[in-house]
Structure 1
Amino acid sequence: MAKEIERKFLVSGQRWRTFADEGIAIRQAYIVAQDDRSLRVRIFGNGKARITLKIGHAVLVRDEYEYDIDRDEAEDMLRHAIGNAIEKVRYKVPHEGHVWEVDVYGGAHKGLIIAEVELASIHDEPNLPNWVGREVTGESQYSNQSMALGVSNGASLRQLA
């Protein structure tokens, strides 16, 4: 069983860009969204697509199952999405033994930048880069699901960053 263990932070400034890869565009939407589970579809700028099922209430740890799917099927699934599609560019940024994923949001959430780090254990304590700000792990307004369903407001999120 796959587990997702991650922490999220707001990003402060642009220093992270010095170490980032070229990034990849992502369009994602939710087919199912409940308090303890979600089914999301993503289409990547490189033509690939993936469907992900996440289950669990815990702040740090959830069960996660991901599968590559046909891009045409993913496009068709997007037609059935609830809420709005999220647009972002994801950059990978290595830092002291971890690879951080920095999401730069577009569309309704333009201006919001969030960094996530996946951990091997809930006991991992990664050294935080100097470009991360306040931790927002578990703050639902910063979840992609909440943003897609319109639970949060992009303008208010940007003010908090």
Structure 2
Amino acid sequence: MAKEIERKFLVKDDSWRQLAKGSLYRQGYISSQGATVRIRIVGNQGYLTIKGMTINYSRSEFEYPIPLADAQEMLDTLCVRPLIEKTRYKINLGSLVWEVDDFAGANQGLILAEVELTDEAQQIELPDWIGEEVSGDPKYYNSYLVKHPFCEWE
């Protein structure tokens, strides 16, 4: 079984921006009850991803490439609105890859950093631009942001 072990943080300043170039992501959710079913386009490639429930920092994850035209049609016809639009920056620091998501559209203004780990107990050194950890807060899940966009938060 594929497993994702991930920690998520708010980003407190823009000093990370000079460390990487970003890629545009568009994604939507067909289902977010129990297991999450996501459609994503990155560049010219579509992906279908199924994720299980999060327990601590871990969850099962299965991701498969799909034809771009199929992904586009699913985003247009099957996915809940609004779609998630973001630019993702991948930053290599030591043995880790930090992914910083700068959201656009209905979630503009939200910037999150994630790091995937090999073990839940793995110790990590936080870069200076990392703020509060929000790993356990479901309101920062992309599937939550579809139903409760950042622009509606108080």
Secondary structure, aligned partner of 2:65: strand
TM-score normalised per structure 2: 0.94
Q: Please tell me whether the aligned partners of residues 28 and 83 of structure 2 are also in contact (alpha carbons under 8 angstroms).
A: yes
**What does 1:28-47 correspond to in 2, within 5 Å?**
28-34=27-33, 36-44=34-42, 46-47=43-44
- Once superposed, what is the RMSD of the aligned Cα atoms? 1.3
Q: Tell me what 2:15 maps to.
A: 15
State whether structure 2 residue 124 is matched by structure 1 residue 107.
no
Q: Tell me what 2:96 maps to.
A: 98
Structure 2 unaligned spans of 5+: none
**What does 1:138-157 correspond to in 2, within 5 Å?**
138-150=136-148, 152-154=149-151, 156=153
> Whole-Å Cα distance in 2 between the matches of residues 75 and 37 of structure 1?
22
Structure 1 unaligned spans of 5+: none
Look up the equivalent residue of 1:62 and give its one-letter code: R
Measure how far apart 1:59 and its partner are.
3.3
Look up the equivalent residue of 1:144 and give its one-letter code: N
Secondary structure, aligned partner of 2:39: strand
Structure 1 vs Structure 2: percent identity of aligned residues?
A: 41
> Whole-Å Cα distance in 1 between the matches of residues 101 and 78 of structure 2?
24
Aligned residues between the structures: 153
Q: Please tell me whether the aligned partners of residues 112 and 154 of structure 1 are also in contact (alpha carbons under 8 angstroms).
A: no
Secondary structure, aligned partner of 2:56: coil
Q: Tell me what 2:5 maps to.
A: 5
> Whole-Å Cα distance in 1 between the matches of residues 16 and 132 of structure 2?
15
Look up the equivalent residue of 1:61 and give its one-letter code: S
> Whole-Å Cα distance in 2 between the matches of residues 138 and 38 of structure 1?
17
Secondary structure, aligned partner of 1:75: helix
TM-score normalised per structure 1: 0.90
> Whole-Å Cα distance in 1 between the matches of residues 50 and 89 of structure 2?
22
Measure how far apart 1:111 and its partner are.
1.1
Cα displacement string for residues 125-159 of structure 1 (whole angstroms, at most 9, x for unaligned residues): 11100100000002111110000122x54353xx7
State whether structure 2 residue 60 is matched by structure 1 residue 63.
yes
Look up the equivalent residue of 1:72 and give its one-letter code: A
Cα displacement string for residues 86-105 of structure 1 (whole angstroms, at most 9, x for unaligned residues): 10000001112200000000
Q: Tell me what 1:49 maps to.
A: 46
Q: Please tell me whether the aligned partners of residues 82 and 106 of structure 2 are also in contact (alpha carbons under 8 angstroms).
A: no
Runs of 4+ in 1 over 4 A off after TM superposition: none
Q: Tell me what 1:120 maps to.
A: 118
Measure how far apart 1:63 and its partner are.
0.4
